[in-house]
Amino acid sequence: GHYFSFLGTVVKGRGIGKKIGFPTANLKIEDPWKIVPPNGVYAVRVSFQGKDFIGMMNIGFTPTIKSQSLTIEVHIFDFNSQIYGERLNISVVKKIREEKKFSSVESLQNILNIDENKVRLLFKNMKL
């Protein structure tokens, strides 16, 4: 088959990912009945304007940053464009880990670097 996928529109977030070196596209799911994966960190493929990118996605309440609502955030690797209001097609390739609260933002940054390395290696080995 194919990977589970969904469409989302990029909305403005709090800008925290950008501040810590991991800018994210915050997604609003267009279909209120769409089932999304459980909370956690995932390796994803992102399709945007006919191009495919790889990245990692967090679904959850970002406990280290203390979000009050469920968020879906995608960090697209090697990508630097303003895409507010654009639609992204996200294909979920593999769950990397559970969402976790870290003792500090620095600890979060360290694990995000490890997550990124895992995701890049996964896609390299899959030859995607």
pLDDT digits (tens, 9 = 90+) for 95-127: 999 998 888 889 999 999 999 999 999 999 997
Question: CA 119 to CA 32: how far, in whole Å?
Answer: 29
CB 91 within 8 A of CB 126: no
Residue 128: per-residue pLDDT: 60
Residues 6+ apart with CB under 8 A from 65: 14, 16, 105, 108
- Model confidence over 10-45: pLDDT tens digits? 999 888 888 899 999 999 997 878 888 999 999 999
Q: Which two tokens stand for residue 102?
A: 């870290």
Residues 6+ apart with CB under 8 A from 13: 24, 26, 71, 73
